[in-house]
Amino acid sequence: MTTAMHVYGRKHQQGWNTVTAIAMAVFHILAVAAFFFIDTGAIMAAVVLYFVAGMLGIGMGYHRLLTHRSYKTHKWLEYVLTFCATLALQGGPIFWVATHRVHHQKSDRDGDPHSPREGFWWGHMGWILTGQGLHRDASVLNRYAPDLSRDPVLVWFSTYHWVSNVLVGLALLAFGGIPYVLWGIFFRTTFGLHCTWLVNSAAHTWGYRRFDTREGSTNNWWVAAISFGEGWHNNHHAHPTSARHGLAWYEYDLNWIAISTLRALGLAWGINVAKVRSAMNEDILLPDEEAVA
């Protein structure tokens, strides 16, 4: 077994990841099929689940809490956010966090799991389709997420990350039938996957660079709009532990607004916020008393 840092990247990931490739083909076909079953209630269910999985789950849970620990919260709420994230069909918490930490360590260099410098479509979704066993090898992944591997609940979620969509899918089937499943599961997860993948592809390709970081990350407004603020990706690479990614007033960051709401409710504390005002000559955020560099 080679070390994890050498198995990521286009030239290192050999062979088809058959299960993932078949699943992706099926999900894309059924996402298109949803358009033949237009149903207002089903589309509303998909919108709600898109916010639950993408904002509460991926943005606030997997990314800003579990990967970067940019704020603190109760353990029970961490598990709730993790459950929401599994609904995004982006794997369990240990896989997601480990992969993303490698991305920050190797950004746009050899060993980056999904750099668009190895091809735009590779960085977008090609990277999840190849590399046999790459996504499930716990011994490799644990090295990058030892903090998560010590938590039996997060280990459980990592093994059974697909269960949440089965349960929600059955509930949707019972409540509204086939249209609800097509929109609420297949269209919603497929659309959400592309939103996250665009952070890796488009927000490393198009947009403006406020910070002269070593990788090619960009701030991209339309990626931010569909990913709840994750598209302010150049800000994020420059200040990875900041819970706030949109740093100027015009950088709309819904995940940050939601984390601020948790703080107002007494459910989030110890929040890191990028202290960047002195480095810039524009209308930028005021760091609060908990701010870090």
The residues of the shown chain that bind Zn ion, judged by CB under 5 A, are 217
Given CA atoms 159, 89, 145, 105 in this order, what sign does their dihedral have?
A: positive
* Cβ nearer to Zn ion, comparing 217 with 219: 217
Q: How far is the CB of 235 from Zn ion (least distance, A)?
A: 11
Q: How far is the CB of 218 from Zn ion (least distance, A)?
A: 9
* Cβ nearer to Zn ion, comparing 189 with 217: 217
Q: How far is the CB of 234 from Zn ion (least distance, A)?
A: 9
* Cβ nearer to Zn ion, comparing 13 with 99: 99
Closest residue to Zn ion, Cβ-based? 217
Q: How far is the CB of 224 from Zn ion (least distance, A)?
A: 13
Q: How far is the CB of 215 from Zn ion (least distance, A)?
A: 7
* Cβ nearer to Zn ion, comparing 135 with 233: 233
Q: DSSP secondary-structure letter at 3?
A: -
DSSP string, 173-207: HHHH-HHHHIIIIIIHHHHHHHHHHHHHTGGGTSS
Question: Is 158 within 8 Å of 93 (Cβ atoms)?
Answer: yes
Query: What's the rounded Cα separation, in Å, for the pair 148 and 193?
Result: 23
Q: How far is the CB of 141 from Zn ion (least distance, A)?
A: 16
The residues facing 248 across adjacent strands are 284
* Cβ nearer to Zn ion, comparing 158 with 217: 217
What would you report as the CA-atom Rg of the chain, rounded to the nearest whole angstrom? 19
* Cβ nearer to Zn ion, comparing 217 with 227: 217
Q: With 0-12 CB in 10 A as exposed, 13-18 as middle and 19+ as buried, what is 196?
A: buried
Query: What's the rounded Cα separation, in Å, for the pair 224 and 245?
Result: 10
Structure-block tokens of residue 82: 């993790």
* Cβ nearer to Zn ion, comparing 52 with 223: 223
- 115: helix, strand or coil: coil
DSSP string, 47-67: HHHHHIIIIIIIIIIIIIIII
Q: How far is the CB of 107 from Zn ion (least distance, A)?
A: 6
